[in-house]
Amino acid sequence: MECSRCGGFMVQEEFFGLQEEAFPVTTLGWRCVMCGEFVDSVIAANRRTVAEKSNKARRPALSHAT
């Protein structure tokens, strides 16, 4: 996996999610060894969703003839 910020090499890391104190969850994420950018699976999924949405938004331009 390549860093979306600098294109550097990313290593997979396990970390504890901080959002739920009562239920510490181990999550897999990716950390860039070059710039320190961190992407967890949730962020990656969100980015995919956004990309899919923006692809769907790309429609042929409608003519506004009145």
* Coil vs helix vs strand at 33: coil
Sequence-separated contacts (24+) of 27-32 with Cβ below 8 Å = 30/1, 32/3, 32/5, 32/6, 32/8
Site mask for Zn ion (CB under 5 A), range 8-47, x = bound: x-----------------------x-xx-x----------
Q: Residue 39 CB, nearest distance to Zn ion (Å)?
A: 10
* List 5, 13, 24, 49, residue binding Zn ion (CB under 5 A): 5
Residues that bind Zn ion (CB under 5 A): 3, 5-6, 8, 32, 34-35, 37
